[in-house]
Structure 1
Amino acid sequence: MARFAPAVLQRYLFGGQLLVRGCLRHMRHAPQTAPSLYSQRYHTTQIENTSSANAPDITIPFRKQLKDEAKQRKADEIGKKPKRDNQRLDNWELTVGIEIHAQLNTERKLFSPATSTINDAPNTHVALFDVAIPGSQPTFQKETLIPAVRAALALNCHINKTSRFDRKHYFHWDQPTGYQITQYYEPFAKDGYVTLYAQDGLAREDGEKIQIGIKQIQMEQDTAKTMSQPGDVHLLDFNRVGLPLIEIITLPEIHHPSTAAALVRKVQTILGAVDACVLGMQSGGLRADVNVSVRRRDAVGGHEYGGVHGLGQRTEIKNLSSFKAVEDAIIAERDRQIDALEAGEVIEGETRGWTIGSTETKRLRGKEGEVDYRYMPDPDLAPVVIGDDLIDHLKETMGVLPDQEIETLVEQYGLTAKDAMSLISLNDGGRAEYFYNTVESYLRNNPDEDMSKVGRLCGNWVLHEMGGLSHLDASEENPLNFTEAGRCLITTGKLAHLLDLLGKSKITGRTAKKVLNEVFESALRKVDETPQEIIDRLGLWFQPLSDQEYDELAKSVLDIDIVNQILAGKIGKINFLVGQMMRKDADGRVDAQQATAVLQRLIEEYRTN
């Protein structure tokens, strides 16, 4: 029997699409078989047309049905429990501290020469020490310090010249030694901060700018990756055990869920900008634990946490793997604690879990403390000594940080802060590189143009117009195949050429969008076609309207009531008429200024008559 690829079988089972070769050849005249199997196995919903008994059934794809069902479940859950204000609480204050675990961008693991990777075949990069073979010893890989110190400097931390490793004892299948090597008592960096601005996604209550303190940053090793299987079977991939991490511990100075998510997003952007951590949350290279507590606004006394007094009992939510999960988990745990306290219950210090799509956190275990982990200095590792020469070198070669780049994009290139933020965040910085190259290419042919004007023009097309391109043959996540170096399917030269034609009024904006899509589709087909060649082929060169055509178009939109309002002093109403003229012009040839002048002339003639 012939072997069919999974994608082929999937199309057969889920969509009734049959091959005309192999063992399915003789079934191609019986299309009812596959839809019947599909509907029975996956409960496909069909829409009945009551107006016609003979109308064909419309099958809803299984994937869409799952999404619709998930939305309905979420709506039902929201309906059962009133949703609180996500930010402001009148009687309660929320306090959050965050621990961010980021995988360092290194070739080797922290204490072994094994390759640092999580994408290769399981258990193919494992050294003796990684799996605690008796007699094996940890060997600190000095090169892991480079991205770690670079990250700490970017987060405005003080670098400790001497730091030490400690053992954090706990027993779990993902930690073969029975302890994790970390830096608890003497970390390599401390006393830093992250500045958040409104464009970073701050809660409105936090204003335009806040500063969140960083207590310390410590180096530590990652655990093995657990892959759960049906039947309570757990497989272990030791490729991940021993990977070098930094743990960034903030002070409990966050009071709104969206600000917490903004902080994690900002830290990820900073780490990526200095090449310290190249895998973000979406790739599993960054995870967050959040510590959540609430207290009455008029409460006095309380507990101490991280040097801050008067907080309520905190709980920890582990292993949050998306920005939305950070925000949603904090909201759910905050509401749970408030409900419990208002009911006269006591909040226990515990570790809790969060599942994407749920509405509440779940208890995992009691919260371990310092005594439970039995911290002790690691006797097999010497202190880590960092020299001033290394610190100075890394400071000098740091490069431009995200806040500095946003400032440049706003002040020199004329972008809004929101667009600048989006630009540096997309495609691992590749979209920003593409933007700079496009501006440079445009200015080569227009050296006298204002930089801000060119920046706004290019920014709009690079972000918004190109962001809307999609095709069945293109990748859903990255349709234009953007790279970190700023290359993509549409070269910067072609986009700059298109914008040059638009700026010189040789084509209209509507035509430019059509040509951009043609350039994109040509690139997918691996056809090298310039914007000018496409315009020639489709006959899209701009032909301005004649005076007579402007008059006829303007007269077709004139309304006596609006004309009377304009004559009565409501001058702004003329813009409405201009908009009507532009909508009637299917080819986009109406010039707004010329249309305004024609309308003003006709209205003045109406006044005199």
Structure 2
Amino acid sequence: MPRLKLAALSRYLLKGQFHTRGCLISRVRTCPTVARTPVQQLTSTWPYQTRAAHTDTTSSLPNNAPSPIHVPLRKQLKDEAKKQKALGKKKKKNVNNQVVDGWELTVGIEIHAQLNTAKKLFSPAVTSFNDDPNSHVAYFDLAIPGSQPLFQQETLIPALRAALALNCEVQNVSRFDRKHYFHWDQPSGYQITQYYEPFARDGRITLQARDGIAAEDGDGISVGIKQIQMEQDTAKTLAQPGELHWVDFNRVGVPLIEIITLPDIHHPATAAALVRKVQILLNAVDACVSGMEAGGLRADINVSVRRSDDPSAPLGQRTEIKNLSSFKAVEDAIIAERDRQISVLESGGKIESETRGWSIGSTETRRLRGKEGEVDYRYMPDPDLAPVIIGDDLVSHLREGMGELPDAEVDELIQRFGLTPKDALSLVALDDGNRIEYFWNVVDLLSKRFGSDAYSLEYLRGYQLAANWILHELGRLTSDRIEDAAQDLGFTEDGQCHRVPVRHLTDILFYLHQRKITAKVAKELLWAVFRRRIPDEYATMDAVLDEENLWFDELNEDEYVELAHAAAEGQEDVLNQFVDYKQYPQGKLMFLVGRMIRLGAEERIDPKEAERIMKRVIEERLVPAIRSGSQA
């Protein structure tokens, strides 16, 4: 084939125009997998600012091909579990599968996170995640001859925030290296990274029991971070029917950080907890674009095993599991690879250094290729990039503006409001930290409504109520069982919510805490706010309560006592359960409370108060009467 002119190559790369002479087109057309595909679809993997390649595969299928059906992740997992059960492979629960007698597991993790920046790492092209494919690509992104990398200084800021959040030592001087490999997702044939001199080293992350670590790790564990390096992301491959792949170069050059831990982890659940903790920290300091669920954070796991009877023996040969995209996948893949390695060694085999893959719902890892080493990648300093010099004044400025990190905030929620560790962690982690800001806004308004003694024990339940509703009741508004499930609640960075404004939720919680409305009415009001009936139909919360007569006119204590006696009448068999019991019959008590609610005016009864009164009536009046009757 004759050498193409630069102009012809440019037309091919930037406009998708094939050179019609020579062997390029003829060879493409003889390929059976692409002969049935229009040329426009083939060229859509290359051009600059083309809009031919869409991620929606339904619009690009051949006429006789069935449309692909999107299957939710949860359904995929359930279907895979059913398939394994049918094959007689019953999966052991992970909580009981953290250790194998006689063996020690060692895990190291490499986490790749997309940085929250407006520009790519070495080009002024805009970072793009949801735009049309190949619509934000610069010459350097495509490795056009003559194009040069230009380090975008603003990409360093979120990287430094991440390093400080992970307790790393920022290096004053760092340099970029070339990591060579050839694949269609890397046009230049190499990736620019920081292998020898990264910008951050020697970090440490502390995991506590509340973070979800394995029970075998006790109250906590400290995991060392070897280094954090900046590098560029690769292109995104879009699989199509007929063994065809499209390539979207919008992602080429998007700034990444790679966080490399020391092999300090020995239990699968702890590895998953570390990845989750890193994601929470990166979100808290606004360093990361998105989490694992959206593809903004990916984890590679290095796994090795050795016999536990000789602690001085070297670590076993490690294998790497690539591109794990969920916390559950991290734990499941480690367990599967650990068990595979143990099985190989116990049968007299040898563990090969290799890269392995993992699929959703699998029970085994699969071989992808032999593991590349340092020699294979031919690392070399990048001659086109100068060293990155980071001043101590910049690091100090960023450290002072870090604000409160998640662990400190979780501690405050537990100590100040008495929340459970699980609820506190959920509040901090949800919606990229926006939900906890919403909670603080609600707390501020509630404290003003409560008055001068706002933070006394008397009002503690009100703040706990706020946390519970923000976590659970708001979540039910968009659950899969609700017709409005597709509608996002719309939390913002300043702690507002488009669908449930802070002031409306505060009104509901205040009236519920003051027992001016029932829990049932409160939930109905929340629905009215979510569906925008307030303020579209009713101007204020008070207006809807007045017009619909929803204020809680609770029974007085004498009326509760009278109703309790009425509910207990004729229930001698039930009441006998409260005489000389070994375990308090709570179920029978709630049965009688249910009778109270059915016999009385439900809209005037508080179930908690009804339970309190019924319990008191039983203990002070009914049980003594039964005992005296039996003695007589």
TM-score for both structures, normalised by structure 1 = 0.83
In the alignment, does 2:474 pair up with 1:462? Answer: no
Specify which of 506, 514, 517 is matched with residue 524 of structure 2.
514
Aligned mate of 2:338, from 334, 340, 352 = 334
Task: Report the 3-state secondary structure (helix = DSSP H, G, I; strand = E; otherwise coil) of the residue aligned with 2:398.
Answer: helix
Shift of 1:330: 1.0
Q: Could you tell me which of 522, 537, 543 is aligned with 1:533?
A: 543
CA distance in 1, matches of 2:290, 2:224: 24
CA distance in 2, matches of 1:332, 1:65: 21
For 2:106 and 2:252, the matched residues in 1 are separated by 33
Q: Which moved more, 1:577-586 or 1:79-88?
A: 79-88
State the match for 1:26 in structure 2: none
What residue in structure 2 maps to residue 9 of structure 1? none
Task: Specify which of 360, 365, 372 is matched with residue 368 of structure 1.
Answer: 372
Deviation of 1:414 after TM superposition, in Å, equals: 2.4
Q: Which string of whole-angstrom CA distances, capped at 9 and with x for unpartnered residues, describes residues 530-587 of structure 1?
A: 44334344433323336356334334336445645645476945x5554233322152
Matched, 1:603 2:623: yes
Partner residue of 2:613? 594
Of residues 392, 395, 401, the one that matches 1:391 is 395
User: In structure 1, what residue type is equivalent to 2:510?
Assistant: D
1:144-155 aligned within 5 A: 144-155=155-166
Describe how 1:140-179 pairs up with structure 2 within 5 A: 140-179=151-190
In the alignment, the residues of structure 1 paired with residue 177 and residue 563 of structure 2 have an alpha-carbon distance, to the nearest angstrom, of 83
Alignment RMSD, CA only?
A: 2.7
The aligned residue for residue 50 of structure 2 is none
Matches within 5 A, 1:402-413: 402-413=406-417
Cα distance in 2, alignment partners of residues 328 and 77 from structure 1:
19
8 A Cα contact 1:415 1:455, kept in partner:
no
Identity %: 56
Shift of 1:121: 1.2
Matched AA of 2:606: R
By how many angstroms is 1:70 displaced? 4.0
Which of residues 479, 486, 497 is equivalent to 2:495? 486
Aligned position for 1:110: 121
Q: Report how far residue 79 of structure 1 moved.
A: 2.2
Show the counterpart of 1:23.
Answer: none
Corresponding residue SS for 1:292? strand
Q: 1:457 to 1:531 in 2, by over 3 A?
A: same
Q: Say if 1:534 and 1:479 are closer, same or farther in 2 by CA, change over 3 A.
A: farther
User: What is the CA–CA distance in structure 1 between the aligned matches of 2:444 and 2:84, rounded to whole Å?
Assistant: 48
Query: Given residue 294 of structure 1, which amino acid in structure 2 is its aligned partner?
Result: V
Matches within 5 A, 1:273-292: 273-292=284-303
CA deviation map 1:193-236 (0-9, x unaligned): 11111221111111121111100001111111111222222211
Question: Unaligned stretches of 5+ in structure 1?
Answer: 1-40, 43-60, 303-309
Q: Report what 1:496 is aligned to.
A: 506
AA aligned to 2:440 is Y
- After superposition, give the CA deviation of every residue in 1:225-260 in whole Å (9 maximum; x if it has no partner): 111222222211111111111100001111111111
Shift in CA distance, 557/342, structure 1 to aligned 2, threshold 3 Å: farther
Distance 1:499 1:81 in 2: 44
The separation in 2 between residues aligned to 1:274 and 1:221, in whole angstroms, is: 21
Structure 2 partner of 1:381: 385
Offset of residue 392 of structure 1: 0.5
Change beyond 3 A, Cα 1:524–1:506: closer
Contact 1:222-1:243 within 8 A present in 2 as well? yes
Kept in 2, the 8 Å contact 1:193–1:211? The answer is: yes
> CA separation of 1:98/1:378 partners in 2, compared to 1, >3 Å: closer, same or farther?
same
CA distance in 1, matches of 2:162, 2:84: 38
Counterpart CA distance in 1 for 2:264 and 2:76 is 39
Counterpart Cα distance in 1 of 2:117 and 2:560: 66
Cα 1:469–1:147 change in 2 (3 A) is: same
Q: Which residue of 2 aligns with 1:49?
A: none
Cα distance change on mapping 1:108 and 1:502 into 2, 3 Å: same
Return the alpha-carbon distance in structure 2 between the equivalents of residues 323 and 604 of structure 1.
Answer: 56
Structure 2, gaps ≥5 residues long:
1-65
Q: CA–CA distance in 2 between the matches of 1:394 and 1:63?
A: 38
1:295 partner SS: strand
CA distance in 1, matches of 2:532, 2:562: 39
Could you list the per-position Cα deviations for residues 147-175 of structure 1 after superposition, in whole angstroms to 9, with x for gaps in the alignment? 11110011000111111111111111111
Helix, strand or coil for the counterpart of 2:251?
Answer: coil
Residue 270 of structure 2 corresponds to which residue in structure 1? 259
Q: Deviations over 1:249-294 (max 9, x none)?
A: 0011111111111111110110111011121111111111000111
Instruction: Choose the corresponding residue for 2:353, options 349, 355, 367.
Output: 349
Is the deviation greater in 415-424 or in 550-559? 550-559
Give the Cα–Cα distance (whole angstroms) in 1 for the partners of residues 223 and 591 of structure 2: 50
Partner Cα distance (2:306, 2:431) in 1: 41
Q: Is 1:89 paired with 2:104?
A: no
1:42-78 CA distances to partner (integer Å, 9 max, x unpaired)? Answer: 9xxxxxxxxxxxxxxxxxx999998864442132356
Structure 1 SS opposite 2:227: strand
1:193 aligns to what SS in structure 2? strand
Given candidates 214, 219, 238, the residue that maps to 2:230 is 219
CA distance in 2, matches of 1:80, 1:432: 39
3-state secondary structure, aligned to 1:554: helix
Structure 2 vs 1, CA of residues 206 and 82 (structure 1 numbering), >3 Å: closer, same or farther? closer
CA deviation vs aligned residue, 1:85-126 (integer Å, no higher than 9, x gap): 421211111111000001111111111111112221111111
State how far apart, in whole Å, the 2-side matches of 1:171 and 1:117 are. 24
1:446 aligns with 2:450: yes
1:453 partner letter:
R
The change in CA–CA distance for 1:71 and 1:524 in structure 2 (over 3 A counts) is farther
Give distance in 2, aligned partners of 1:324 and 1:356: 9
1:72 aligns with: 82
Query: Structure 2 vs 1, CA of residues 554 and 88 (structure 1 numbering), >3 Å: closer, same or farther?
Result: farther
Determine the C-alpha separation between the residues in 1 that align with 2:297 and 2:72: 32
Q: Which amino acid is the alignment partner of residue 593 of structure 1?
A: R
| Closer/same/farther in 2, CA of residues 148 and 82 from structure 1, 3 Å limit | closer
State the alpha-carbon separation in 2 of the partners of residues 353 and 68 from structure 1: 20
User: What amino acid does structure 2 have at the position aligned with 1:481?
Assistant: G
Change (3 A) 1:193 1:173: same
In structure 2, relative to structure 1, the CA distance for the partners of 1:315 and 1:508 (3 Å cut) is same
Cα distance 1:244–1:64, how it changes in 2: closer, same or farther (>3 A)? closer
Q: Distance in 2 between matches of 1:567 and 1:335?
A: 54
- What aligned pairs does 1:281-320 form with structure 2 within 5 A after superposition? 281-299=292-310, 302=313, 310-320=314-324
CA distance in 2, matches of 1:78, 1:249: 38
Cα distance, 1:293–1:221 mapped onto 2, change above 3 Å = same
Greater mean deviation of Cα atoms: 492-501 or 548-557: 548-557
Where 1:89 maps in the other structure, the secondary structure is: coil
Separation in 2 of the partners of 1:208 and 1:172?
45
Q: Alignment length, in residue pairs?
A: 542
